[in-house]
Every structure is written in C-alpha cells, then in structure tokens.
Amino acid sequence: MAELQYTEENIRSLDWKEHIRLRPGMYIGKLGDGSSADDGIYILLKETIDNCIDEFVMGAGKIIEISIQREKVTVRDYGRGIPLGKVVDVVSKMNTGGKYDTRAFKKSVGLNGVGTKAVNALSAYFKVESNRDGKSKSAEFETGELINEELLEETSRRRGTKISFVPDETIFKKYKYRNEYVERMLRNYVYLNPGLTIVFNGEKFFSENGLKDLLEDNNSKEDLLYPIIHLKGHDIEVAITHSKTQYSEEYHSFVNGQHTTQGGTHQAAFREAIVKTIREYYGKNYDASDIRKSIISAISIKVMEPVFESQTKTKLGSTDMGGGLPTVRTYINDFIGKQLDNYLHKNSETAEQIHKKIVQAEKERKELSGIRKLARERAKKASLHNKKLRDCRLHLGDMKSERRLESTLFITEGDSASGSITKSRDVNTQAVFSLRGKPLNSYGMSKKIVYENEEFNLLQAALNIEESMEDLRYNNIVIATDADVDGMHIRLLLITFFLQFFPELIKENHLYILQTPLFRVRNKKETFYCYSQEEKIEAIVKLKGKPEITRFKGLGEISPDEFKHFIGDDIRLEPVMLDKALSIEELLKFYMGKNTPDRQEFIIENLKVEVDLIEDN
C-alpha cells in the first residue's frame, strides 16, 4: 500500500470566520431550528444582548430595544457606543474587545472576545452601527466578509450601538424564532438588572424586585408555602420558598447575568449553604433531601472573570470570586449562614412553615425507603439497558462534547414504533425508551407510585432524576406517539406524570412532542412528507397529476429509512410549555380530573383536526 504524503500542502490555516463556520458547535452549542430554548439562533441573540447588558451594568444606557421580524434581528442599546475607530475590529477580529480591560468591564459575561464575531460569522447578513460623540460609524458583512464600510459621518442620533443580523439558513435549517423563548430570556435579563427596560417588538419588560419577581412570575401564589425570602448583598442575591405540591428541587442560577442552566460551583454551594444554615437554626441534623425537598429558589452572583465549562456558559467552573474575595463556596456559605438565619429569627411564622415541611418530608422519605430499595432492585433485574432503554453513547453530563445538548431520549409505545426509531436513530446522541401499553394516570397520586409502578420507576431511572435535576441524563425528552386518539392520550398521561412529579423538566424546556408526517405524497421523481392537510394540498399541486398519497396511521408504518429524515437534521419538535395563567395543580385538574364540560369541549376541538384528516384520506 502506497504511503500517504504529508507535506506543507496538507497544512491549512483557517481565518476567524472559517473556523467558526466549520465548527459552530464550539461557539454556540447545538444548531437546531428554534424549537429548543438552547438552539443556536437564541445564542446569537443572547451574545448580542450580553454586550448591551454590560453597558447597563457599567451605568450606561437603561433601555434596550429588540425587534425580530421574521428572520431579521435588530438589537439597539443606548450605552457608550463602540469606539468608532474599532467598530469593524470588534465584530470581526478574534480576541478583540473592551472586556479584556477589566477597568471598563469588571464583571462581564463574555470575556473571550468571541460572541459578536460568532454572530457575524454565522449570519447571512450582519450590520453594526455605533453612535457616539455626535458621530456615526457602520459596517456591513455577509457570512463574516466585510462588504461595506461607511466613513465617519455627523449624526444627531442618541449614542449607543445597533446590531442587525439574519442567521444563515445554510447553517440553521428552516429556523424560526419562538417568542416564548425570547420573552423568557428577556425576563431573566430584567430580573437580574432591576431598573433596566427591554422593549421587544413593542412590549416592555421591567422588574423592580429582581429574583423575587422571577419566582412570583413563574409560580402561582397559591402554590407557595410561605412568602418568598428575598436576600441581597454585595455581588449576591437569592430568593427562596417551598412549593406545597412540587416534589423535587428547583433552582434558577445565574452568574454575571448568564443563566447557568446546568448549575456549577455557585449552585452547589447554595444547596449546601441552605442545608447547613437550616440544620444550625433548628439544632437538628436533618437529612439534606428533606430540607431541600420542594424548594423553589434562585441565586445570582457576580464574579471577576468567571470561568465556564463551555462557550455557551451553562455551567460555572470558577472556584474564586476574584477581587480579593474568598472562594465562591465560602462567600455563599457565609452570606446564607448569616442572612437566612437572621431572616428566620425575625420571621417565626415562615420558620415554622419550613419546619413542618421538613418534618413531613422526613416522614414521607422513611415511608418510601423500603419501596425505593425494592424499586432499585427491580430496575436491576429488569435489565434496564436491554429491555426498556436502548441508550446512546453521549449524555448531557459529558461536558467535553460539542454535541452534549443534542442528547435525546425518545419515549415511544409499541414494538414496531420503537423498532423503527431504534434502527434509524443516531446512536451517538439518541436513546429510545419503550413503553408497554398506556401509562398509569398519575394525577393526584403520591411519589410512592413512581417506585411501585414499573414503567414510571424505569423511566425515572433512565432519566437519572430520582435525586436531582442536576443529574438529568438527556437534554431533550421527546414523546413519540402516534398522531391518533390513543397516541394523544398517551402523550397526555406522560405529560401528567412529568407535571405531577418533575415539573421543572417542563419549566426548563426539556420536554417535547415529536412531530411526524401525516402524509407521503410522491410520484416517480419526487417525494414530499406532509405534516398537515395544507402541506398535503401544496404537495399535490407541486407534483401535478395524480400522485400516490399515503396516510401514516402510526409510527410503526414508517420504515426506518424514512424515519431517518424525521429524527435527523429535519426533526420537528413541539415544545411542551406551561401556561403562566394557570398553576400546575389547575392544569392537572383541568386535563386529568373528573370530566367537565370545558375539558370535553377542549378535547373535541383539538382532536377534530386528527379525525378530519383520517376521514379525509
């Protein structure tokens, strides 16, 4: 066999934009189409807004204006404006930016100088404009290439920076911004920056009470055990309460304004500090799980030059606060130990409510201990990885992988459906969990049922969420059932299970419904997969004549070769989202409680589309 040549010609240097476009996952995580909150198009938006937030934090500019009109995004702040002689460099030269100078940006999020460059490189069109000192400078780019640079001109416009971009469709396939995800991101920004006003497509977002507002807006007042404990200090803010109905722990953690969805050193220290303080206050060595059961809380800290475990900054790795302060762990422990203890001494009624909650949790844990042990033994005997779960090679906890955010578990019912998905999946990132028949209606049941019911016990084990959401095994949990009445019922039963016992999976946007085509329309030359009646009609018109039309009545009818299209790059996921107007208890009561005229009307209206499609074919 001839020896392969390895010469200077094999060595290639990529410029900044080529490297970003070749390895976008290194800079913005997964790509996606906008159906998931951590898809790349939202990271592009976040990276742009982060610069505006840094201006606000430095005392420059109290308003940020954001517009999203179809594909085009425009972000305008009223900060100091980029120094006019560096406008092009700041958005197109790596390792260039004001955030390296800690005199200007002491506690910024983006210290690597990559953010805006990534937005530029991954956009089909990008424009930057800076206004300051009565003058304006702008430049336009296409996929990172400078196509137009305006000379300095006089202006009467208010100072600040304006950036417009259109994500590149060759990278972000068939993408669409979802207002729900954008609005959630913006709410977090104003919670963390009281006094800041963000205007998004004409709607104002503002917060007076920071993290206290976050917990109030995300939970119904009736579901909270006691008034929210809100504590603020230098470079730290926390909000704490307990839920009356929720079983697991819920944390919203932030560092320098960045939502650390995977926690990190600060969240671990916060959980530890709460346990330590509560034990000392009551003078009893309560089990940590009993103290934290049903807790709903938020923490925000500011750190000098934070170190994150990935470019998307979802997990803090820093152990030091910087600026001569102690470690993150010591700082948080000292703050909670003093401030929470003081609060409990001054608010005896809240202290009594917390004590009752802990005692009740302890009682329930002891009652469940035997059942849990048996459940674990059953899980082992059931050979989880062979019978129920066909696992993937990559999990959410694998921080070294660019594709960790793609880790997905499909929950499906029936041998044929699970077989099709298993044969066509990406074994690196996609796992399959097979249900046996319809799940139990868990509405109104206690956590005991999760361990006694084999399906729920094994599903919980597969997700690795018995102790904490921090150990969640997959980023995306996808319900994959037939698009018929039985399939809709299974979806509802599974959503009920998650709402009842693990609502934060839904709150944190981990749960989805897999959309699969209802029709295949084809002739000898071309094939269209249609997800609605409208798409079917459009396909018939495009193909002309009398094409062959197939109605897929179940997932098992779709061959593995075809299924690859529907769970690959062109996957369509519908996120399961909570209605902020209703509490979880109200939602469960409406969908799964005793039949009511309202629910019957809702089901008839929402199933009518499916029935019409079946009858039409």
Helices H / strands E in the chain, number of each: 21, 23
Three state DSSP letters for 185-204: HHHHHHHHCCCCEEEECCEE
| 435-444 CB burial, b ≥16 within 10 A, e <16 | beeebbebee
Q: Mean pLDDT over all residues of the chain? A: 84
pLDDT of residue 605: 59
Is the model's pLDDT at 283 over the cut of 70?
yes
DSSP state of 150: P
Cα angle 523, 481, 410; round to 5: 105
Nearest residue to 312 (alpha-carbon basis) of 38, 594, 75, 561: 38
Name the one residue in this structure whose structure tokens are 């989202």: 577
Confidence band, pLDDT 50/70/90 cuts, at residue 613: very low
Q: What was the pLDDT predicted at 229?
A: 96
Average pLDDT over residues 76-86: 91
- The answer to whether the beta carbons of residues 293 and 249 sit under 8 Å apart is yes
pLDDT value at residue 60: 87
- Please tell me which residue, 6 or 86, carries the higher pLDDT value: 86
Tell me: pLDDT of 400 over 50: yes
- Tell me how far apart the terminal alpha carbons of the chain are, to the nearest angstrom: 59
State the sign of the Cα–Cα–Cα–Cα dihedral 186, 192, 194, 196: negative
pLDDT attached to residue 461: 86
Above 60 in pLDDT, residue 609? no
The answer to whether the CB of 444 falls within 8 A of the CB of 453 is no
> Would you say 405 and 551 are in contact if contact means Cβ atoms under 8 Å apart?
no
Residue 310: the pLDDT is 64
Q: Which range has highest mean pLDDT (43-52, 446-455, 602-611)?
A: 43-52
**Domain 387-516+552-616, classified CATH 3.10.20.30, yes or no:** no
**Which one is predicted more confidently, 351 or 16?**
351
pLDDT at residue 6 is higher than 50? no
List, edge to edge, every strand of the sheet that includes 229-233.
Answer: 229-233, 236-242, 295-301, 250-255, 258-259
Indicate if the pLDDT at residue 598 is higher than 60: yes
Residue 112 above 50 pLDDT? no
Instruction: Reply yes or no on whether the pLDDT at 576 is more than 90.
Output: no
Question: Which residues, in sequence order, are CB contacts of 377 under 8 Å at separation 6+?
Answer: none
Residue 374 has pLDDT above 70, yes or no: yes
pLDDT at 19: 80
Residue 380's pLDDT is what?
Answer: 66
Mean pLDDT of 596-607: 60
Mean pLDDT, to the nearest integer, of 460-482? 86
Whole-angstrom CA distances from 64 to 193, 201, 203, 565 are 12, 11, 12, 40
The top-scoring range by mean pLDDT among 13-27, 473-487, 573-587, 596-610 is 473-487
Give residue 59's pLDDT band: very low, low, confident or very high (50, 70, 90): confident
DSSP string covering 58-80, please? TT--SEEEEEEETTEEEEEE-SS
Q: What is the pLDDT of residue 214?
A: 94
Contacts of 472 (CB under 8 A, 6+ apart): 396, 463, 464, 465, 505, 510
pLDDT of residue 138: 93
Query: Mean of the pLDDT values across residues 451-475?
Result: 85
Instruction: Give the pLDDT of residue 367.
Output: 84
Rg (CA), the chain: 26
Please state at what angle helix 485-501 crosses helix 597-616, rounded to 10 degrees.
Answer: 140
Q: How far apart are CA 264 and CA 266, in angstroms?
A: 6
Mean pLDDT check: name the lowest of 59-68, 309-318, 336-345, 515-524: 309-318
Q: Which residue ranges make up each domain of the chain?
A: 16-205, 211-368, 387-516+552-616
Task: Check pLDDT > 90 for residue 556.
Answer: no
Q: What is the mean pLDDT of residues 525-550?
A: 89
Strands (E), 414-466: 430-435
Residue 467 pLDDT > 80:
no
CATH no., domain 211-368: 3.30.230.10
% pLDDT > 90, the chain: 38
Other CB atoms within a 10 A radius of the CB of residue 351 amount to: 17
**Three-class secondary structure of residue 130 per DSSP:** strand
pLDDT class of 370 with cuts at 50, 70, 90? confident
Residue of 183, 55, 41 whose CA lies nearest to 119: 41
Q: pLDDT higher for 270 or 447?
A: 270
Indicate if the pLDDT at residue 390 is higher than 60.
Answer: yes
User: Is the predicted pLDDT of residue 603 greater than 60, yes or no?
Assistant: no
Second-level CATH architecture of 16-205? 2-Layer Sandwich (3.30)
Average pLDDT over residues 553-570: 81
Taking the C-alpha atoms of residue 39 and residue 30, their distance in angstroms, rounded to an integer, is 6
* Average of per-residue pLDDT across 357-383: 79
The closest alpha carbon to 28, from 123, 141, 147, belongs to 123
Task: Label residue 583 by pLDDT band (50, 70, 90).
Answer: low
Cα(394)–Cα(392) distance, rounded to whole angstroms? 6
Query: Closest by alpha carbon to 189, among 116, 109, 245?
Result: 109
User: Is residue 510 scored above 80 in pLDDT?
Assistant: yes
Instruction: Taking residues 419-445, report their average pLDDT.
Output: 87
Three-state secondary structure call for residue 252: strand
